[in-house]
Structure 1
Amino acid sequence: MPSKSSTRLAALTVAAVCSAASTVLVTSPAHADTVRIHDIQGDTRMSPYAGEQVTDVAGIVTGIRTYGSSRGFWIQDPAPDADPATSEGVFVFTGSTPKGVAVGDAVTVSGTVTEYVPGGTSSGNQSLTEITRATFTVVSSGNPVPAATVVDARSVPAAYAPAGDPAANGSVNALPLRPSTYALDRYESLEGMNVQVSDARVVGATDPHTELWVTVKPWENRNRRGGTVYGSYDAQNTGRLQIQSLGRAADFPDANVGDTLTGTTTGPLDFNQYGGYTLVANELGTLEEGGLERETTRRQRAGELAVATYNVENLDPSDDTFAAHAAAIVDNLSSPDIVSLEEIQDNNGVTDDGTVAADATMTKLIEAIEAAGGPRYDWRSVDPVDKADGGQPGGNIRQAFLFNPDRVSFTDRAGGDATTAVGVTEVRGRAALTVSPGRIDPTSEAFEDSRKPLAGEFVFRGRTVIVIANHFASKGGDQGLTSQYQPPSRGSETQRHLQAKAVHDFTAKLLKTQKNADVVVLGDINDFEFSETTEILEGDGTLWSAVKSLPESERYSYVYQGNSQVLDQILISPSIRRGCTFSYDSVHVNAEFHDQISDHDPQVLRFRP
């Protein structure tokens, strides 16, 4: 038998076999004598038998997947070896719904050992060892399923992953598994096996794809609302695990963060494109609600200006969420004076016919807010060039300002359009915008196929406040935390760093013109408060991210793969920070809930200009 550590996928003659937009890496089949599952899995992430034919691999069927593009069943050897690094389970890919097989059947399987990369090799994902082009024989039925291996706080190490091999571009694929040292190695050593979690707290709400996230480490970076906070690149939260089900989608629980799957949740441990290691449950625990409620922030006082940011997730006139968004703005945000909205789409949404105006979208939202008991807001924005700002094709998303004209006024200066850059001037000794509203560097490569920052000049109680609304480039395309490359690459940062520098430099010009100018930079920054993107925005004291005024356990506006994290921020100029009159609130109304109307939570800053 070849040594797994010496067998590299790169050394194989590779052909690509496409299935449902993912890539399977195989080789020209060679023959191998009958082997056990743990021989196939070996002690690294890559099978020593990749591309070879195996015959009469024995195991007990532990689960059958009859839906989606990856149909088949899992088998597990009831007689494990003594090596904790070698998994005793493997997935048998049949392509179509497997027939003539049931959980508890003892089977022998023949086929090709394949390393399947969910999402394709360009994703950087780890691969899943499978037996493909399979034939099988049922030897007997009604056998006990091998006992589930318990996954809990004691068995999952605190360290997340080993550093990748520099000689393999940082890949961990060929490294020997150390399941007692690294969490990802522990999960990999259980790939395809029957595993179990008990009384697991939900840290990622049920999503439209019928999946949720739990933690097996109840106190790992826990916050007061039951989530798990992602506070640095070195604290990935090793206890997180995605849960799916082999049962009917209708039977899957609608869970919020802070709920608990009581009892045991048991099934094969899979690896997929969107969540990494995933327990695909034959048996789901019972949902016990944690009683999580949506937050309400306090109303601003008479002398306070309230400025908010809210990503309303591709809002267009055909949506049925206007009343809910209005209620969130009026009731949960207490009707801020200024609201920066991200992901406002044009008047016909994703219909791609050249429409770029969004007046129908904004009017419908304003009317819904008034109907909900809020003020009659006014609004300002700049229509983009068609198909130039990214987002859903045809949607032409942009930022827009809502403002309450009973509390603030907007300083209109004509000339701002999709391609005209806003500049800085001086009016009566104070910094001002050359156009208002206007866009920062709209033709710069920093904002290519991305939203352009929207600057607006407001007056509150005689004091000018300049607000810059942002929606930076998304993190799409970055390698996931469970990537085969460790640490994973964050390639999307390159554009956000350019965007952050452009906004920082514009703010610096304002402050050079007027040292004590009140400037608020806010929006969906698509990066963390500890990121280099934020450091570039802040510069050497030009701005400061107000989310840092919160305790570390309360710094989040988004929940992704069970990690509560910061993506939305409000940054403030020194005059606002020095005054010590500001308060900041991340208002949790969406991200932790299965019935969210947006995947982002809004943020509110209150201060006395």
Structure 2
Amino acid sequence: MRFAEICVHVAAAALSLSLATAQTIAQINGNRFISPYRNQNVFNVTGLVTATGPNGLWIRSTTPDSDIRTSESIYVFGRIPSSLTVTAGDVIVLDGLVSEYRSSAAYLYLTEITRPTNVQVVSRGNPVKAVVLGKQDTSPPTEQYTVLDEGDVFALPNNASQISTANPVLQPWAYGLDFWESLSGELVAVRGASAVAKPNSYNETWITGDWRKTGKNSRGGLTMTAGDANPEAIIIGAPLDGTDNPTDIKLGDQLADVTGVVYQQFGYYYILPLTALSVTESMSPTLPPPVSWTSKGNCNKITVGQYNVENLAANSTHLPSIAQHIAYYLNSPDLVFLQEIQDNSGPTDDGVVSANATLEALVTAIEAAGGVSYAYTDIDPQNDQDGGQPGGNIRPAYLYNPAVLNLKTNNGINPTTPGTVLDANAVYPGPNLKYNPGLIDPSNPAWEDSRKPIAAQWETVAGDKATLFTVNVHFTSKGGSSTIEGDPRPPVNGGVDQRIAQATVVGDFVARILAEDQAAAVVVAGDFNEFAFVAPLETFVNVSGLVNLDDAAGVAAQERYTYLFEMNSQELDHMFVSPKIAGSPGGRPDLKHVHANTWVSYAEQLSDHDPSVARLDIC
């Protein structure tokens, strides 16, 4: 199991010749992240054994101080002589070397005592009580991680400082990392535990307990908002008794009380539980109800869906279920923005780039599931140039109901067949698009190894032949990010500079449409791989002049999520609309994030993203 990784680290500690006698465990830990006794030998350290693991044990001071910044417990790494049996409840005394260990330079250090020698048992059978987190004893802060973030965990520049270098004095009442560090090594208990995420691939699950929480959504998760990235959650690691945590935990599941030790590994603070997690109750209903909105078939009430379908190929096993999501849960929107449509051969790097078979299979399955008979349009990428799963050639694509919308014919302006355009689109007087559909400045360096957005111009079939402009985006990923609880502060937000460049390119394009007609109906939607309150999307709004549809529709801040990552329910998928739509005389637009994937177990989800659907007046 992952916990065993620590067994390789002893040689990493530099052995100091200086000797020091630590009178208490609190003195060894100190009131900062790094021990004042680092690389020093300590003697006659006395502590109550609170838990044991495969490679060491945890001890608690028998003479605690009154400083809440200094942890009274510490991990002792190394084997105790086989001639000596040590169990929880024993008071022991030992000598050792104080070390700071981490397996990556991007992680925080774990303070520990290594190379234990002269271990003696002073007494046995002593009571072992856990520190109860929450109302009884102590609660974590709910918004900020560390003073080094200066109030914004997503501020630029990233990695402006490091905890290991600055080593600030702990303020556990104000900052989440400080709080968990002040309990490092401590045996703690969590009452009223609930899951705020699904298990990761190592069966580790983020939870909260019976303490104050901010950003709590109606499903029991913690939604990330501006200035609040939810440090009150803690991840539960591998049980110390060798059992396995459940794999099917779902968002909002209620859990039996958890008791375990606070630990630092893999860039996060953990609780290593004494026994495995146990689910006591799950949220109801299991799945959300379908959207009941219906299209009027004209410009007054156009329905628009958005869905990252996660590497969908013609032979994907999840294709029929994705089709059912679109037909049933989204109620067959008039227009659907899709991302991660793969080419016809899927993740086989064979030079195939066309996705007509994939899209044909999807529209056929939607109709079989009771949905409308869709038409589709996309633009083939250049082979292996747009990132994503190797060989898959993912791209954004549109589905549209031809009984309601059609691609507008721009009076002979289009010089080429839709679907083959690889040069830059443009906005002509009218406004009209040079290509319909067409890529937005595809040779711009902003799109290197990333999906190119597809702009389109639509016309309603019925009524006044209203025009709608759309841009379907899938910005570059957050690959290369550091953990939110890691050493760099603020954490590294991978790809942020490229997303700012992409946001500027798309924003400029939209601004040109609105410059031609400030009353134009425009929707930009897709997987932006970013949060609305972070620089790339703030840039996009400022440059484009569009309005966040969540704001226009009045969606509550804590219900804005389409994705689960670490401890946070978060929104990577967005819709932005022009002022004409945001302030429509026909009334406030409607928007619903349909949690068909975030509410179910990991094995049951079809995509790692939720779809969304809106109802808009574009007249």
TM-score of the pair, normalised by structure 2: 0.83
Amino acid at match of 1:259: D
How has the CA–CA distance of structure 1 residues 491 and 561 changed in structure 2, closer, same or farther, with 3 Å as cutoff? closer
Superposed displacement of residue 478, structure 1:
3.4
Amino acid at match of 1:334: N
- Which residues of 2 match residues 112-261 of structure 1 at below 5 A? 113-118=98-103, 120-121=104-105, 123=106, 125-131=107-113, 139=121, 143=125, 146-152=128-134, 154-158=138-142, 160-164=144-148, 169-173=160-164, 174-216=167-209, 217-232=211-226, 234-246=227-239, 251-252=245-246, 254-261=248-255
Superposed displacement of residue 162, structure 1:
4.0
How has the CA–CA distance of structure 1 residues 261 and 24 changed in structure 2, closer, same or farther, with 3 Å as cutoff? farther
1:88 matched to which residue of 2? 72
Measure, in 2, the Cα distance between the counterparts of 1:568 and 1:291: 25
Amino acid at match of 1:492: G
Question: Can you list the C-alpha shifts for 1:50-108, whole angstroms capped at 9, x where unaligned?
Answer: 34455776655545556xxxxx334113514214322233345569xx99977528567
Measure, in 2, the Cα distance between the counterparts of 1:142 and 1:359: 72
- Which residues of 2 match residues 337-486 of structure 1 at below 5 A? 337-411=334-408, 413=414, 414=416, 417=420, 419-426=422-429, 430-461=430-461, 462-486=465-489
1:602 matched to which residue of 2? 611
Amino acid at match of 1:210: N
- Which residues of 2 match residues 558-597 of structure 1 at below 5 A? 558-581=563-586, 582-594=589-601, 595-597=604-606
Measure, in 2, the Cα distance between the counterparts of 1:398 and 1:256: 30
Do 2:295 and 2:333's aligned partners in 1 also have CA atoms closer than 8 Å? no
2:34 matched to which residue of 1? 46
How has the CA–CA distance of structure 1 residues 388 and 63 changed in structure 2, closer, same or farther, with 3 Å as cutoff? farther
Measure, in 2, the Cα distance between the counterparts of 1:579 and 1:37: 65
Question: Can you list the C-alpha shifts for 1:436-456, whole angstroms capped at 9, x where unaligned?
Answer: 222111111211122111112
1:11 matched to which residue of 2? none
Amino acid at match of 2:357: A
How has the CA–CA distance of structure 1 residues 194 and 388 changed in structure 2, closer, same or farther, with 3 Å as cutoff? same
How has the CA–CA distance of structure 1 residues 237 and 55 changed in structure 2, closer, same or farther, with 3 Å as cutoff? same
How has the CA–CA distance of structure 1 residues 552 and 141 changed in structure 2, closer, same or farther, with 3 Å as cutoff? same
How has the CA–CA distance of structure 1 residues 23 and 52 changed in structure 2, closer, same or farther, with 3 Å as cutoff? closer
Measure, in 2, the Cα distance between the counterparts of 1:141 and 1:73: 19
- Determine helix, strand or coil for the equivalent of 1:329: helix
1:545 matched to which residue of 2? 548
The 10-residue stretch of structure 1 (448-457 or 411-420) with the greater mean CA deviation from structure 2: 411-420
Superposed displacement of residue 190, structure 1:
0.9
Superposed displacement of residue 211, structure 1:
2.2
- Determine helix, strand or coil for the equivalent of 2:358: helix
How has the CA–CA distance of structure 1 residues 401 and 56 changed in structure 2, closer, same or farther, with 3 Å as cutoff? farther
The share of aligned pairs that are identical, in percent, is 33
Measure, in 2, the Cα distance between the counterparts of 1:270 and 1:567: 30
1:69 matched to which residue of 2? none
Superposed displacement of residue 198, structure 1:
0.3
Amino acid at match of 1:590: N
2:317 matched to which residue of 1? 320
Superposed displacement of residue 269, structure 1:
1.1
- Determine helix, strand or coil for the equivalent of 1:27: coil
The answer to whether structure 1 residue 268 and structure 2 residue 257 are counterparts is: no
- Determine helix, strand or coil for the equivalent of 2:431: strand
Amino acid at match of 1:146: V
How has the CA–CA distance of structure 1 residues 371 and 114 changed in structure 2, closer, same or farther, with 3 Å as cutoff? farther
Amino acid at match of 1:188: E
Q: Which runs of 5+ in 1 are unaligned?
A: 1-17, 67-71
Measure, in 2, the Cα distance between the counterparts of 1:432 and 1:509: 11
- Determine helix, strand or coil for the equivalent of 1:204: coil
- Determine helix, strand or coil for the equivalent of 1:483: coil
- Which residues of 2 match residues 296-315 of structure 1 at below 5 A? 296-302=290-296, 303=298, 304-315=301-312
Measure, in 1, the Cα distance between the counterparts of 2:336 and 2:515: 26
Measure, in 2, the Cα distance between the counterparts of 1:385 and 1:21: 45
Measure, in 2, the Cα distance between the counterparts of 1:55 and 1:418: 74
2:284 matched to which residue of 1? 291
How has the CA–CA distance of structure 1 residues 99 and 52 changed in structure 2, closer, same or farther, with 3 Å as cutoff? same
Do 2:142 and 2:214's aligned partners in 1 also have CA atoms closer than 8 Å? no
- Determine helix, strand or coil for the equivalent of 1:287: strand
The 10-residue stretch of structure 1 (53-62 or 584-593) with the greater mean CA deviation from structure 2: 53-62
2:88 matched to which residue of 1? 104
1:525 matched to which residue of 2? 528
2:59 matched to which residue of 1? 76
Do 2:236 and 2:270's aligned partners in 1 also have CA atoms closer than 8 Å? yes
Amino acid at match of 1:555: R
Question: Can you list the C-alpha shifts for 1:24-72, whole angstroms capped at 9, x where unaligned?
Answer: 9643554645655444322211123434455776655545556xxxxx3
Higher RCO, 1 vs 2 (CA within 8 Å, ≥6 residues apart): 2
Do 2:458 and 2:467's aligned partners in 1 also have CA atoms closer than 8 Å? yes
The 10-residue stretch of structure 1 (84-93 or 499-508) with the greater mean CA deviation from structure 2: 84-93
Question: Can you list the C-alpha shifts for 1:222-273, whole angstroms capped at 9, x where unaligned?
Answer: 22222222221x22324212223416665526332222224x2011112233
Measure, in 1, the Cα distance between the counterparts of 2:87 and 2:318: 43
- Determine helix, strand or coil for the equivalent of 2:397: strand
Amino acid at match of 1:583: D
The 10-residue stretch of structure 1 (490-499 or 46-55) with the greater mean CA deviation from structure 2: 46-55
How has the CA–CA distance of structure 1 residues 424 and 31 changed in structure 2, closer, same or farther, with 3 Å as cutoff? same
How has the CA–CA distance of structure 1 residues 607 and 44 changed in structure 2, closer, same or farther, with 3 Å as cutoff? same
For this pair of structures, how many residues does the alignment match?
575
1:497 matched to which residue of 2? 500
- Determine helix, strand or coil for the equivalent of 1:255: coil
- Determine helix, strand or coil for the equivalent of 2:308: strand
How has the CA–CA distance of structure 1 residues 318 and 248 changed in structure 2, closer, same or farther, with 3 Å as cutoff? farther
How has the CA–CA distance of structure 1 residues 25 and 340 changed in structure 2, closer, same or farther, with 3 Å as cutoff? farther
The 10-residue stretch of structure 1 (449-458 or 488-497) with the greater mean CA deviation from structure 2: 488-497
Superposed displacement of residue 370, structure 1:
2.4
Do 1:62 and 1:73's aligned partners in 2 also have CA atoms closer than 8 Å? no
Amino acid at match of 1:229: T
Superposed displacement of residue 360, structure 1:
3.4
Measure, in 2, the Cα distance between the counterparts of 1:500 and 1:24: 47
How has the CA–CA distance of structure 1 residues 401 and 159 changed in structure 2, closer, same or farther, with 3 Å as cutoff? closer
How has the CA–CA distance of structure 1 residues 61 and 476 changed in structure 2, closer, same or farther, with 3 Å as cutoff? farther
User: Could you tell me which of 303, 326, 334 is aligned with 2:331?
Assistant: 334
1:4 matched to which residue of 2? none
How has the CA–CA distance of structure 1 residues 60 and 558 changed in structure 2, closer, same or farther, with 3 Å as cutoff? same
Measure, in 1, the Cα distance between the counterparts of 2:560 and 2:393: 30
Superposed displacement of residue 160, structure 1:
2.7
Do 1:201 and 1:218's aligned partners in 2 also have CA atoms closer than 8 Å? no
Measure, in 1, the Cα distance between the counterparts of 2:285 and 2:349: 40
- Determine helix, strand or coil for the equivalent of 2:500: helix
Do 1:418 and 1:442's aligned partners in 2 also have CA atoms closer than 8 Å? no
- Determine helix, strand or coil for the equivalent of 1:360: helix
2:154 matched to which residue of 1? none
